[in-house]
Amino acid sequence: MKKIMKICMVATVVLTSHAVSEFNFDRTPSKLTAYYLSGIQSITDIKRKLESNGFTILAIDKVLNNKKIITITNDELKATNSYMATLHILVNQKDNEVRVQNPSYFASAYLKDYQYGDFKATLNSLEKVLISMIPVLQQKEMSKLPQYHFMFGMPYLEDTITVAEEVRVPNFAKTSYSLKLPNGATLVGHKLTAETSRFLNKIHQSKNIQLLPYESMIKEGKATILDPKYYLALSLPNLSMGDFMKIAMIPYTIEKEIKNSYK
């Protein structure tokens, strides 16, 4: 028992040190974590602290059993006029943990002019909400994120899919939230069916459902989405080819469901 406790204490020190170095914005890291891990808190406490630290809560969605996603934004995120305008926080009562998307990771992929540390204010505010933010082992080399694609022949960031033409708003019964951006575009969060969302169970990634809700962007009357083959691989950097084959039809299912949201 003493040996087990000692190992756990050492692991905690290592993870804590890693977390501290991750927030040293004077030094650009070679790798970035896609998500940060924190201890469990109640939805009520997280909501209160988010609102007192400059965040707006757009929605709270139940995606899988005992798991809820809080979608948030703030002025710094909205100013990007991009898919960086929101972040998803997973409150996982089943596994007693909270996970949040790392803005540094996704900004490296989405924003051409991104410099490490640009979202320092947002990360510092998140740390006040979550108290501790430990990097998870879903990581990717920062240098590969700006031109990321899963493998040869797979889509890049710019290979978006048009899901609707001449549209102003989606079917609100099938969406979770919509966010008007400073440039006039609208970012929409879509509720996938329970059956589709369970694809994460097939690849043992139910602890990382904070990649949902799936979002579309309405701009100048046209709604587009990031190709799911790009977004899912980006959001799950440890995804193997074998895992990808297990969910081979899911990208098409997601595309179909979002198209139906605009009918």
pLDDT at 88 exceeding the cut of 90? yes
Check residue 8 and give its pLDDT. 40
pLDDT at 137 exceeding the cut of 80? yes
pLDDT in tens, 197-241: 999 999 999 999 999 999 999 999 999 999 999 999 999 999 999
Q: Is residue 183 part of a domain?
A: yes
* Residue 163, SS3 per DSSP: strand
Q: Is residue 172 part of a domain?
A: yes
Check residue 26 and give its pLDDT. 82
Q: Is residue 230 part of a domain?
A: yes
Rounded to an integer, the average pLDDT of 40-67 is 96
* Residue 238, SS3 per DSSP: coil
Check residue 19 and give its pLDDT. 43
pLDDT in tens, 124-134: 999 999 999 99
Spell out the residues 6+ positions from residue 243 whose beta carbon is closer than 8 angstroms to its own: 203, 236
Q: Is residue 24 part of a domain?
A: no
Q: Is residue 23 part of a domain?
A: no
Cα–Cα distance between 128 and 130 in angstroms, integer? 6
How far lies 179's CA from each of 57, 58, 127, 152, in Å? Answer: 11, 8, 24, 34
How far lies 210's CA from each of 18, 57, 86, 213, in Å? Answer: 22, 15, 11, 8
Q: Is residue 243 part of a domain?
A: yes
pLDDT in tens, 171-189: 788 899 999 999 999 999 9
- Give the domain range for residue 207: 31-261
pLDDT in tens, 12-22: 333 333 444 45
- Average pLDDT score, the chain: 91
Instruction: Please state the domain count of the chain.
Output: 1
Rounded to an integer, the average pLDDT of 50-66 is 95
pLDDT at 160 exceeding the cut of 70? yes
Q: Which residue has the higher pLDDT, 9 or 190?
A: 190
pLDDT in tens, 27-48: 899 999 999 999 999 999 999 9
pLDDT at 117 exceeding the cut of 70? yes
Check residue 173 and give its pLDDT. 81
Q: Is residue 7 part of a domain?
A: no
pTM, rounded to two decimals: 0.90
Q: Is residue 25 part of a domain?
A: no
